[in-house]
Amino acid sequence: MVNRKFLSRLLVGLLILTIAGSVGVVYFGYFQTVNAGLTFSNALHVPPILDPELENGEKVYTFSLQKGNHAFIDGQPTATLGFNGDYLGPTIKVDAGDLVRFNITNELDEVSTVHWHGMHVPPEMDGTPHQPIAVGETWQPYYEIKNEASTMWYHPHTHGRTAHQSYFGLAAFFIIEDDNSKSLAIPQTYGVDDFPLAVQDRRFTDTGDLFYPATGNAFLGDSVVVNGTYAPQLTVAGKRIRLRLLNGSNSRIFRFAFSDGRTFHQIATDGGLLAAPVALDQVKLSPGERAEIVVDFSDNTDVKLISLPDTNLLAMAENAFEGDSGRFDILQINVQPTDDVSPELPSVLNVINGWDESEVDRVRTMRLAGQMSQDANAAADSAIGSGRQIPINGKLMNMARVDEVVTLGDIEIWEITNMGGVPHPFHVHDVQFLVVDRDGDAPPANEQGWKDTTLINAGETVRIIAQFTDFASEDVPYMYHCHIMEHEDNGMMGQFTVVEPDSALAGSDGYMLELNAELHGEMEH
């Protein structure tokens, strides 16, 4: 027999527990700094710029994927991975229009790939699971730099192993300049007044070893490293300084701000300069996203770069374990007075030519999370999945399946709805897109620029618009996926091809690829 009184007591009890839990989360997230008590005194590592060889009008870059040892904490070395070094890798810095070629050797003991995140390159050069670099082999991609001035990055895209390989250190910057960016009165001397900051949350054992679980879902660390430096410190001149922020975490969302709440200006999004600087006191970046900001230090006041927790208390309570909570100290910035006076920021930075909705050739819908389709064709291929599998349009990543077929030259709107309870950063290869709207509202000013990754909040519908130009192939797909790397590895990814307008496949709803035996073999790593 169920006692009414008992039931209502139980309900009240549950309610109190829920409230207490939320208060706990709010306290921990908002008032408590997760990595409190550190002295930020390790000189920030600034990745060196990789020098190319000049051959027949091409810039040729040679580097390798290596195993290494890197001491993050108190000189205690831990096993890591890096490009040409122990952890992370050199910055590639090019001009728009350059012809580049690479010799990339895999010195790891597992298959890998190198993907040029954000860049408009042919699908055969994109460094996806379709271009594996076997152990001991050298991959030689080449392409023209077709993107405008921007902060891109490169990292592995290995089938089912992206999260692991990136976490242990395979990630680096790819910076593009162009005539416009060079002509602007903005800080642009690398390592002097223009710093790349790859910000990554990590977890360490008591003996200073990098900890990463063998299987799992969205990984969250309780420490933050910048360019591989633990508890870093950077000394800058007391003038305007440009920071190229990359959220290189596997899953954590950062809300970058300064400890004194100062205003700064965002000047660029993922794929280029904004039309005009946007004044902000915080900028939110999910994994994969970049923001270039300019900070005025002419007040000669030392300050910390920090990350704020979500101000939406309900969201924060809900997301406590899903990457969107927690306050972190990130980088101590010490300011040295200078006689140099920076010019005012230009009021015009760029011209962004978008498209009108009347020009749109096709609208596609993408359902993130939600129901798995029962269709056998929706399943993941065998090499994937070590945690919770989250579908896109009811399907999990399958390397042999092309999910969407785009006609070369078309302008498309993708309407992306997050049916799940946690945010997912959605990334599209090949193109830079513009955010049309979020739940029908224009995006904030600092999001009105070129993007390749954008956060889709729980329950939200975001429309993006892009044109698919230059490169077509029926055989080699590009990807779209959640950039929470564990979600990506667990199948939250799909494939699209761009085909010629006269292709028999143009306008079709997808098809199966015949993967060669070598690719199938690599998939089983």
Q: Residues 427, 451, 463, 487: which binds ligand C2O (CB under 6 A)?
A: 427
Nearer to ligand C2O, 239 or 429 (CB): 429
Which among ligand C2O, Cu ion, none contacts residue 157 (Cβ within 5 to 8 A by kind)? ligand C2O
Which among ligand C2O, Cu ion, none contacts residue 438 (Cβ within 5 to 8 A by kind)? none
> Cα angle vertex 471, ends 468, 474, to 5°?
100
How near is the Cβ of 495 to ligand C2O at its closest, in Å?
11
How near is the Cβ of 115 to ligand C2O at its closest, in Å?
5
Nearer to ligand C2O, 240 or 395 (CB): 395
Per-residue CA distances from 121 to 77, 100, 273 (Å)? 37, 11, 20
Nearer to ligand C2O, 113 or 181 (CB): 113
DSSP secondary structure string for all residues of 178-218: -HHHHHSSS---BTTTEEEEEEEEE-B-TTS-B---SS-SS
Q: Taking CB under 6 A as the rule, does residue 156 contact ligand C2O?
A: no
Q: Taking CB under 6 A as the rule, does residue 117 contact ligand C2O?
A: yes
Q: Taking CB under 6 A as the rule, does residue 130 contact ligand C2O?
A: no
Residue with tokens 């730099």: 145
Which among ligand C2O, Cu ion, none contacts residue 482 (Cβ within 5 to 8 A by kind)? Cu ion
Q: Residues 45, 59, 157, 284: which binds ligand C2O (CB under 6 A)?
A: 157
Q: Are 407 and 501 in contact (CB under 8 A)?
A: yes
Beta bridge partners of 452: none
Q: Taking CB under 6 A as the rule, does residue 164 contact ligand C2O?
A: no
Q: Taking CB under 6 A as the rule, does residue 424 contact ligand C2O?
A: no
Q: What is the CA radius of gyration of the chain?
A: 23
How near is the Cβ of 478 to Cu ion at its closest, in Å?
9
For residues 32 and 120, give the distance between their C-alpha atoms in angstroms, rounded to a whole number: 42
Q: Are 454 and 414 in contact (CB under 8 A)?
A: no
Nearer to ligand C2O, 240 or 481 (CB): 481
Nearer to ligand C2O, 237 or 484 (CB): 484
For residues 189 and 195, give the distance between their C-alpha atoms in angstroms, rounded to a whole number: 8
Q: Residues 424, 438, 451, 481: which binds Cu ion (CB under 5 A)?
A: 424
Q: Are 34 and 222 in contact (CB under 8 A)?
A: yes
Q: Taking CB under 6 A as the rule, does residue 290 contact ligand C2O?
A: no
Q: Residues 114, 171, 487, 498: which binds Cu ion (CB under 5 A)?
A: 487
| Residue 246: other Cβ atoms inside 10 A | 27
Nearer to ligand C2O, 240 or 483 (CB): 483
* Of 192, 256, 266, 264, the residue nearest 224 (C-alpha): 256
Per-residue CA distances from 10 to 1, 3, 16, 19, 104 (Å)? 15, 11, 10, 14, 62
Q: Taking CB under 6 A as the rule, does residue 120 contact ligand C2O?
A: no
For residues 301 and 376, give the distance between their C-alpha atoms in angstroms, rounded to a whole number: 61
Q: Taking CB under 6 A as the rule, does residue 487 contact ligand C2O?
A: no
Q: Taking CB under 6 A as the rule, does residue 265 contact ligand C2O?
A: no
| Residue 484: other Cβ atoms inside 10 A | 29
Task: Give all strands of the β-sheet with 272-280 in edge-to-edge order.
Answer: 229-230, 223-226, 194-202, 240-247, 290-296, 264-269, 272-280
Which among Cu ion, ligand C2O, none contacts residue 487 (Cβ within 5 to 8 A by kind)? Cu ion
Q: Tokens standing for 44? A: 């920030």
| Interaction mask 99-118, Cu ion, x per CB under 5 A | ------------------x-
The three-state secondary structure class of 376 is helix
| Residue 213: other Cβ atoms inside 10 A | 12
How near is the Cβ of 131 to ligand C2O at its closest, in Å?
12
Kindly indicate which of the ranges 76-84, 182-190, 316-324, 479-487 contains the residues binding ligand C2O, using the contact rule CB under 6 A: 479-487
Kindly indicate which of the ranges 9-17, 195-203, 238-246, 476-484 contains the residues binding ligand C2O, using the contact rule CB under 6 A: 476-484
Which among Cu ion, ligand C2O, none contacts residue 424 (Cβ within 5 to 8 A by kind)? Cu ion
Which among ligand C2O, Cu ion, none contacts residue 288 (Cβ within 5 to 8 A by kind)? ligand C2O
| Those residues with Cβ within 8 angstroms of residue 351's Cβ, 6 or more apart along the chain or in another chain | 275
The continuous run of DSSP H or E covering 416 comes out as: strand 411-418
Per-residue CA distances from 176 to 60, 61, 122, 124 (Å)? 16, 15, 18, 21
Q: Taking CB under 6 A as the rule, does residue 481 contact ligand C2O?
A: yes
* Of 501, 482, 477, the residue nearest 493 (C-alpha): 482
**Binding residues with ligand C2O: total (CB under 6 A):** 10
Q: Taking CB under 6 A as the rule, does residue 463 contact ligand C2O?
A: no
The three-state secondary structure class of 310 is coil
Nearer to ligand C2O, 44 or 479 (CB): 479
Q: Taking CB under 5 A as the rule, does residue 59 contact Cu ion?
A: no
Handedness of CA 222, 228, 233, 239 (dihedral sign): negative
b/e 310-320 (16+ beta carbons within 10 angstroms → b): beeeebbbbbb
Which among Cu ion, ligand C2O, none contacts residue 481 (Cβ within 5 to 8 A by kind)? ligand C2O
Q: Taking CB under 6 A as the rule, does residue 367 contact ligand C2O?
A: no
Which among Cu ion, ligand C2O, none contacts residue 484 (Cβ within 5 to 8 A by kind)? Cu ion
Q: Taking CB under 5 A as the rule, does residue 482 contact Cu ion?
A: yes
Q: Taking CB under 5 A as the rule, does residue 455 contact Cu ion?
A: no
Nearer to ligand C2O, 113 or 417 (CB): 113
Residues that bind Cu ion (CB under 5 A): 117, 424, 429, 482, 484, 487
Residues that bind ligand C2O (CB under 6 A): 115, 117, 155, 157, 288, 427, 429, 479, 481, 483
